[in-house]
Amino acid sequence: MIQIHLTSPIGTSLSVSVEHADDILPTLRQYGKLGYTSGTVPSGGYALPLAQVDDFDFALIGAHPYINKDGEACVMHKGQSYKRRELEAVENKKMSLPKIVKYSRGARPTDLPHVKEGEDGGIQYVTLITFRGGGKKIAVYQLPTVQQNAAD
């Protein structure tokens, strides 16, 4: 029996048992749609290949996408709103950076220092997830409808 430890949006702890490893992601999806999370967001946020950006299943991390009143793509995670930001590729003599799509929010004074990005005294951000690089899509992280269509 495998135990998955989850936290509800209001901080309640819950442990769920699954029989097989194949049941882990469906269980995370089921509870993630309700806002439950498992573990903590790593410093700098989750990192996935850029190819995953359009069909990543945010329920896996207990988040849900939405469009804000200004028409911007956002993700709600643990009561915090993270806005989609696209950073175009940079290619010059000094540096070469790939295109990046990230979901981030402005840092708050209450955020721990190790999760803040940017200059001290300047604008700082907290990143939930970053999509970058040329890696391949991870099929099990795709939205279930995308997985279903690919199997047909």
Q: For strand 46-48 and strand 124-132, is the pairing parallel, antiparallel, or unpaired?
A: parallel
CA-to-CA dists, residue 57 to 123, 124, 139, 142, angstroms:
29, 27, 10, 5
Q: What is the mean pLDDT of the chain?
A: 90
On whether both 58 and 71 belong to a single domain, the answer is yes
Max avg pLDDT among 80-84, 90-94, 113-117: 80-84
- Please check whether residue 117 is in contact with residue 126, taking contact to mean a CB–CB distance below 8 angstroms: yes
User: What does the pLDDT read at residue 61?
Assistant: 96
Q: What is the CA radius of gyration of the chain?
A: 17
Same domain, yes or no: 95 and 55: yes
- Tell me, yes or no, whether 25 and 66 share the same domain: no
Same domain, 118 and 56: yes
Please give the average per-residue pLDDT across 68-82, as a whole number: 95
Asked whether the beta carbons of 50 and 136 are under 8 A apart, the reply is no
Q: Report whether pLDDT(147) > 70.
A: no
> What is this structure's pTM?
0.86
What's the average model confidence in pLDDT over 130-143? 91
